[in-house]
Amino acid sequence: RINGDRLWAALMELAKIGATAKGGVKRLALTDLDKQGRDLVVGWGREAGMSITIDQIGNVFMRRDGANNALPPVMTGSHIDTQPTGGKFDGNYGVLAGLEVVRTLNDLNIQTEAPIEVAFWTNEEGSRFVPVMMGSGVFCGAFSLETAYAAKDTDGKTVGEELERIGYKGDQVPGQHPIGAYFETHIEQGPVLEDADKVIGVVPAVMGLSWYDCVVTGMEAHAGPTPMGLRRDALQVSTLIMQEVVAIANRYPPYGRGTVGMVQVFPNSRNVIPGEVKFSIDLRNVNDELLNTMHGELLAFLDQARSDTGLTIALERVSYYPPCPFHPDCVNAVRSATAKLGYSTMDVVSGAGHDAIYAARLAPSGMIFVPCKDGISHNEIEDAKPEHLEAGCNVLLHAMLERAGR
Amino acid sequence: RINGDRLWAALMELAKIGATAKGGVKRLALTDLDKQGRDLVVGWGREAGMSITIDQIGNVFMRRDGANNALPPVMTGSHIDTQPTGGKFDGNYGVLAGLEVVRTLNDLNIQTEAPIEVAFWTNEEGSRFVPVMMGSGVFCGAFSLETAYAAKDTDGKTVGEELERIGYKGDQVPGQHPIGAYFETHIEQGPVLEDADKVIGVVPAVMGLSWYDCVVTGMEAHAGPTPMGLRRDALQVSTLIMQEVVAIANRYPPYGRGTVGMVQVFPNSRNVIPGEVKFSIDLRNVNDELLNTMHGELLAFLDQARSDTGLTIALERVSYYPPCPFHPDCVNAVRSATAKLGYSTMDVVSGAGHDAIYAARLAPSGMIFVPCKDGISHNEIEDAKPEHLEAGCNVLLHAMLERAGR
Ligand SMILES: NC(=O)NCCC(=O)O
Ligand SMILES: NC(=O)NCCC(=O)O
């Protein structure tokens, strides 16, 4: 069994970096704070006797040798970047649970057959830079290193520059790093486990996701003298699309999701009819056919809106990954570890994307969920119980041991 | 008759300060660029032999003595601050037309009985700081100097600090400056004159305006795992209100106006359901009773939205002025000057607020409109014809001479 207090202490220590007044964390990818967080975790890894490798997209791999180092490592990990108003657990838990597994193996002097690795992947959140889950995406070849390097934040800074600046542009070519199996522990980020009063969620699959940038272009004009009938108001047309995004999701329960999370209005002045509005669209479903249907309905609605309003409406897909079912071997390893430890459990489809879906393209993978308070995540009030975090980490330990051998 | 070429040259010279790539001007109130524009105009005023007074809110009065300096001056003026994506003519025309009147009087060696003054008022646009029409508003006592000084831009800088910084916090107590009559020339900022092919708009009245900040508070949560039915999406509720703003205006044609121009979404991340949305509402009508009805309908809609959605919806009125009919003497002075000069003309209700409505609380006032291209203003492509600007300035000259005596 792992040491729950030590795990909790590590989480609280890491959460100090970028701590917000409301008890959350703001540590955006590749900022100075991200660098501080990375340095702290890497230092802990070294203290635990692990060797460190960094690849060209800034993914960090911390390795504990096995008895047979020719075997590909059994890996666990997640990310330590956060949302602008993020919490202490999203991502951070997965990384520090991995560290705690290694500390526990050290305490108990257990040597595994295969090596054990703890990874943290660059820019999982996708809030500062798209595509989302960038580090693991480049690692598995979902998109190129060049695409990732060129990604810009709203200030025009690129991933390439920022990686260099914080000193985390490593040497290793992404993907040239073998993985035997991959596990990721994570808070659920939804209400299902808490509602059902279960401790461990076994994750059969992750929903697919389609992200878009939509730009509606009308005509700026003065809010006073311009008669209502002569306006080409980009915001009013945008509100119709924003509502349709939710309507599309509502037509495909229970796993349809539709969200507009980011909006920019130009010129954004009280007495100017907006001439341009740019906003994000996030569509998800666990069934790829339904996700495609949702995509088609969005396109059809925009066609109709174009002909109804005469405004220019541009749509660009900026991220897409299909739903990802996990490997039966890893799902079963999680299931049997949970049973052995006697935790209450149920299956939970993940609505959030995770680095595990990209790892799953290269090696058998699986995930372990624990409840979070009120199902809230991507919020400074995100919270989780120490005993649940401890339980998830115990399951991780046993699932990894099963795959790594001892 | 005034010198149209000289007027045009002055407009083009001033438009260089803050010129944008698309041919517009960005010279927000109390920025370094505003200071440069102020310095240029004050320099021109001095060259034309005028004396300068600056009051505590940064309004600038440039005075040409009359034969009888005990008489209150006949004043004209407008503003030189612009929208973030503003044009060359809005406001600037009114100030430089006044300067051109004085230059013409100098050329022709005409001495007026009453003094002539050319004013420019601080922060008319209201895009950087609210309340809008701040300088003239403080001048006439519509709100206090303290309120104005405390107004903050989105970076938290105050009017008081910024006035001091650019060196335009004068000594004179606002309002302690007599006015005999006030005229303001302005581009129409709407399509009426151009559609009717008329050169001069006589302005009987300005629409009243009600400005609000609306804040909708929901609950930030993750866009993936949070089921549609459990969301408290502040943006979705906001879109309903944004659409209602336009619907309210459409119920009160032809002078009802409703606009949402400014929107901020928090935390503004693609995969976070918005927890808070803040946006502006602009309602206008030329009839105060109807404007109040529109206000009431907005409140009623918000009450309904609160009980339908359970979200917190806060509404604060940040600016209000009632419709302003101009003084018959000044309206008639404009009308008869136009007739004497032989320009085609019609009456045009102003949808835009102008400093003249605050001047009208202290002295008989009137306005002169000229057409602008496609009725477009508050846009970098705002444009006007030199011959129309010249015509408006000629009308101003004759209307002022009628009131000032010679
Ligand atoms: N787990 C998580 O927050 N991932 C970010 C990508 C997503 O929006 O699902
Ligand atoms: N003329 C002008 O643009 N005034 C600004 C105040 C308003 O929005 O009407």
What's the B27 CA to ligand 2 centre distance in angstroms?
15
* Closest CA of chain B from A325, distance in Å: 16
Residue with CA at minimum distance from ligand 1 atom 4? A353
- Which two structure tokens, joined as six digits, stand for B288? 């105060």
For B249, the closest of A228, A230, A378 (CB atoms) is A228
Average pLDDT, stretch B184-202? 96
Q: What is the DSSP string of B262-285?
A: -EEEES--TTEE-SEEEEEEEEEE
Give chain A as a 3 state SS string. CCCHHHHHHHHHHHCCCCECCCCCECCCCCCHHHHHHHHHHHHHHHHCCCEEEEECCCCEEEEECCCCCCCCCEEEEECCCCCCCECCCCCHHHHHHHHHHHHHHHHCCCCCCCCEEEEECCCCCCCCCCCCCHHHHHHCCCCCHHHHHHCECCCCCEHHHHHHHHCCCCCECCCCCCCCEEEEEEECCCCHHHHHCCCEEECCEECEEEEEEEEEECECEECCCCCHHHCECHHHHHHHHHHHHHHHHHCCCCCCEEECCCEEEECCCCCEECCEEEEEEEEEECCHHHHHHHHHHHHHHHHHHHHHHCCEEEEEEEEEECCEECCHHHHHHHHHHHHHHCCCEEECCECCCCHHHHHCCCCCEEEEEECCHHHCCCCCCCCCCHHHHHHHHHHHHHHHHHHHCC
Q: Which of A260, A270, A282 sits opposite B282 (nearest CB)?
A: A270
Q: Which pLDDT belongs to residue B239?
A: 98
pLDDT tens-digit profile of B118-152? 999 999 999 899 999 999 999 999 999 999 999 99
- Res. B105 pLDDT band, cuts 50 70 90: very high
Confidence (pTM): 0.88
Residue nearest to atom 6 of ligand 2 (CA): B353
Q: Cβ of B257 and A378 within 8 Å?
A: no
CA of B271 to the centre of ligand 1 (A): 7
DSSP state for residue B362 in the 8-state scheme? T
Confidence category of residue B381, pLDDT binned at 50, 70, 90: very high
Which ligand is located closest to the Cα atom of residue A351? 1
Q: Is A79 annotated as a binding residue?
A: yes
Q: What distance in Å separates the CA atoms of residue B291 and residue A228, rounded to the nearest whole number? A: 15
Q: Residues B153-162: what's their mean pLDDT?
A: 96
Tell which of B90, B244, B259 to mutate to test the A interface (max A CBs under 10 Å).
B259
State whether the beta carbon of A270 lies less than 6 angstroms from ligand 2. Answer: no
Looking at every residue in chain B, the average pLDDT score rounds to 97
Q: Is A132 in the pocket of ligand 1 (CB under 6 A)?
A: yes
B-chain residues within 8 Å CB-CB of A370?
none
Find out whether the beta carbon of B352 lies less than 6 Å from any atom of ligand 2: yes
Cβ of B271 less than 6 Å from ligand 1:
yes
Say what the pLDDT of residue B280 is: 98
Q: Which of B25, B28, B124, B318 has most ligand 2 atoms within 8 Å of its beta carbon, as the pocket-test mutant?
A: B124
Mean pLDDT of B333-348: 98
- Using CB atoms and an 8 Å cut-off, which of residues 337-366 of chain A contact chain B? 350-353
User: Residue B352's closest chain A neighbor by CA?
Assistant: A224
Is the shortest distance between the CB of A137 and ligand 1 below 6 Å? Answer: no
Annotated binding site of B for Zn(2+): 79, 90, 125, 186, 378
As averages over each run of 10 residues, the pLDDT of chain A (406 residues) reads 98 98 97 98 98 98 98 98 96 98 98 98 94 96 97 96 98 97 97 96 98 97 94 98 98 97 96 97 98 98 98 96 97 98 97 97 98 93 97 98 96
